[in-house]
A and B are shown apart, each in its own frame.
Chain A
Amino acid sequence: MGTKEKSLTAVAALLLGLVFFVPIWTIDMDAPQYPEGIGMEISINKIEGQKKNDLLNINGLNHYIGMKEITPESIPELKIMPWIFAFLITSGLVIALWGNRNALLIWILLFVLLAIAGLVDFYLWGYDYGHNLSDDAAIKVPGMTYQPPLIGTKQLLNITASSWPGPGFYISLISMGLASYAFWSGKSSSKEN
């Protein structure tokens, strides 16, 4: 790996530091009685309402249909994810210093696998919240489940739920892209040599 590839790898790793500060996913909910909208922002270490009390109010709505309360403190992923990103950043930096292309490939593959695992986990989390409803819910609509879409928009009773990647997700994609570019450009330069 040349200097260019090494620096690109370092940038790809360091870029991931930004993921600690911005949401990785957002869920918007639109309903007639919430003219200003209501929604959640999911970060790697927390889930917050878009406005100060949105989470409280979402939980208030969810209790009618028997959904579990969303309590960020009790979600283990939010404790694990920061460590995963910390690992990716440190290992990425080590690889950048070391300059080993194979290690870089492993790093990229690992990153992609982790991202896929994250999406699968998020889907399962949504599935659990949307399907695992309390037996004594006040409102029961036969056949109705309330799983938010993994990505895209879905009508849930009177609420239009939209789920889209947040800035953190795109930062991760850019990081992956930079690392891949470093890998491939390293390959071609090694051929010439």
Chain B
Amino acid sequence: MKPIDNKKRRTWWAVPFIAIIGLTLYGCPSQQNLAGSSDAAQKVYVAPGEHDEFYGMFSGGYSGQMTVYGLPSGRHLYTIPVFSQAPVSGYGYSEETKPMLQTTHGFIPWDDAHHPEMSQTDGVPDGRWIFINANNTPRVARIDFANFQTAEIIEIPNAAGNHASPFVTTNTEYISAATRFSIPMDEETLENQDVSISSYAENFKGTLSFIKVGEEGEMNIDFQILVPGFNYDLSHAGKGPSADWSFFTSYNTEEAHTLLERNASRNDKDFIAAVNWRKAAELVANGEGREIPAPHYRNYMDHNEQRAKSELVETVTVIDPIENPGIIYYLPTPKSPHGVDVDPSGRYIIGGGKLSSVLPVHSFEKMIEAIENEDFEGEVDGIPVLNYDSVIHAEVENAGIGTLHTEFDGKGYAYTTAFISSEVVKWSLETFEVVDRIDTYYSPGHLMIPGGDSMQPEGKYLVALNKITKDRYLPTGPELFHSAQLIDISGDKMELLLDFPTDGEPHYAQGIAADIVKERQIRFYQLEENNHPAATKTEADTRVERDGNNVHVYMTTIRSHFAPDNIEGIKVGDKVYFHVTNLEQDWDVPHGFAMLGARTAELLIMPGETRTLVWEPQKPGVYPFYCTDFCSALHQEMQGYARVSPAGSNVPISYGTGN
């Protein structure tokens, strides 16, 4: 192995972590039964028919979806398909939604979705959209709160892994994203190179991406900043005085490429990258940076035509901090920091040193002063490294072991998860001392307070998002769903109220007052506004047309029949397109469409919507199709037949309903 180039990085922080990890990993037996009190039960009780106070939007992690819970009840309300195909609705299977999953690597029906992040106005979640990242094949999705559907997915070129994403600036000007893994990139084109992995230190680079968000939410990558080949982990935008800045944690500043658990844990300090996005954006707008080929897809739902479209964007603008000083600085941060969080006032930048014994709090004010005074302790690839002592505001002692993420209650307190010591620690933003701590079950990663990463937290509840569930619920074999724990933070002492299992990995979550979202809801799509090219708006217009080997069925559904429901003249070798329009104009009356032998999923068609299923019958016979969504007393009668004749037979196309 090539010796690690130290580049002036010092090693002050020698803490015997391995021993601590060994001691604590099996600690914390869950003998306590804190949620047993009737007081807690009352606080989470939402009577039948009543609505929860908050929406909780949880990432599905490796399910690739987003799950919606009501808080405080913990009721699972809905799952939004985002990066993974969803048989429940046909998302990613129907012709209208397949383009959403298009990438330059082809059709990718899965991803690892980590960080939901709501759009903000003036630093406060506004309930317009929620964004979420795809960690594996770098993408960012936008979900519309009007219908809880994925409205857009943009691919991020020149990135490998997309973990530090998607974090919004205070007026949703930008969403930031950063490469998790650095890769060897061609100096000119940034194209991924075929080189030896051991040449990591010479060849590997990373990028930080800034995605501009338009009025209607449309996303485009405005620019990328070329950065040294570290791993970039998490991010948060500044707010208030620091609103023009975004912060990114990095690890593996050692630039190791194998056995990182050891080789990337050597430096006592890694960095938080502070990026002046406002300045970078201005430079780019003034023609700095260079446009390079970087094909990437932007997939979006065309609301007019009710179908997703894929558009290949050919280039991206890249800006190099060496040629453009002043857009990025490094804040030394102990040790392999994971989370980076900015308090509601925008004055403090808190790193989560996952291997550090103290929780470092940087001061934005001191950072600006240090930049003005050029108080640098060195530089890495042209990026100035500020002096730790000059920017650090405080180190919170005893903040737990394995501190990861911090959110705020808006009342002067911060709450930090400690992964290894399995607890949430509450500390003061005035004294920087721990004032309370509560055990969690077990190993919390992120935590969420509604609005807790914004300028206006609603500091009533906290949700700890735990990785391990052992013994909390009835066992379900070797796999146990992760758990979310609801903690009351309205008083001086934190109180555990409820825990509930979650789907996939509830990696991070966002919460918002239900009223803000409720008023934006669409109840059904107006049929007259459905401009899908294959929409059929009345039963009189239903028909079956042959076009070579393609058969197009223009079908309608309404309680409780299909039109047509008898179709003949299909032949083996045909590709049959069922274009199904739901004629209902009533809330909560979708119809399903399932076809025997179809190699996709069902269609679930919302009122006023059109969806297309492709069926390629393999054998002659008469095949039933039926409605899957229990729509009325006569739902079971909602069915029909398609007759398939052998290839080359001369059965004419015919169809009908009610004869």
Contact = CB atoms under 8 A, between A and B. Distances in A.
Contacts of B586: 53, 56-57, 60
Interface in A51-88: 52-53, 56-57, 60, 64
A128 B425 CA distance: 72
A73 to B, nearest CB: 15
Contact of A138 (B558, B585, B634): B634
Nearest to A49: B585
A53 B585 contact: yes
B585 A64 contact: no
A57 B585 contact: yes
Contacts of B559: 60
B634 A52 contact: no
A52 B585 contact: yes
Contacts of A57: 585-586
A76 B639 CA distance: 38
Contacts of B632: 64
B259 interface: no
A139 interface: yes
B317 to A, nearest CB: 46
A54 to B, nearest CB: 9
B634 A64 contact: yes
Interface centre among A53, A56, A57, A139 (most CB of B within 10 A): A53
B250 to A, nearest CB: 52
Contacts of B558: 60
Interface string A95-117: 00000000000000000000000
A60 B634 CA distance: 12
B474 interface: no
B19 interface: no
Nearest to B658: A136
A56 B558 CA distance: 11
A180 B162 CA distance: 82
A60 B586 CA distance: 10
B643 to A, nearest CB: 25
Contacts of B634: 64, 138
A176 to B, nearest CB: 39
Contacts of A52: 585
A124 B585 CA distance: 30
A60 B589 CA distance: 12
Contacts of A138: 633-634, 637
Contacts of A60: 558-559, 584, 586
Interface in B628-659: 632-634, 637
Contacts of A139: 633
Interface string A123-151: 00000000000000011000000000000
A128 B632 CA distance: 26
Contacts of A64: 632-634
B565 to A, nearest CB: 15
A82 B107 CA distance: 61
A27 to B, nearest CB: 18
Nearest to A139: B633
Interface in B538-591: 558-559, 584-586
Nearest to B526: A52
B521 to A, nearest CB: 13
A16 B585 CA distance: 35
Nearest to A38: B586
A56 B633 contact: no
B591 to A, nearest CB: 12
Contacts of A53: 585-586
A138 B634 CA distance: 8
Interface string B371-396: 00000000000000000000000000
A139 B560 CA distance: 13
B559 to A, nearest CB: 6
Nearest to A36: B587
Interface centre among A52, A56, A60 (most CB of B within 10 A): A60
Nearest to A56: B585
Contacts of B585: 52-53, 56-57
A57 B527 CA distance: 14
A112 to B, nearest CB: 41
Contacts of A56: 585-586
6 contacts: A52-B585, A53-B586, A57-B585, A60-B559, A138-B637, A139-B633
Interface of A: 52-53, 56-57, 60, 64, 138-139
Given A53-B586, A64-B633, 12 more contacts: A52-B585, A53-B585, A56-B585, A57-B585, A57-B586, A60-B558, A60-B559, A64-B632, A64-B634, A138-B633, A138-B634, A139-B633
Closest 4 CB pairs of A and B: A53-B585, A57-B586, A56-B585, A138-B634
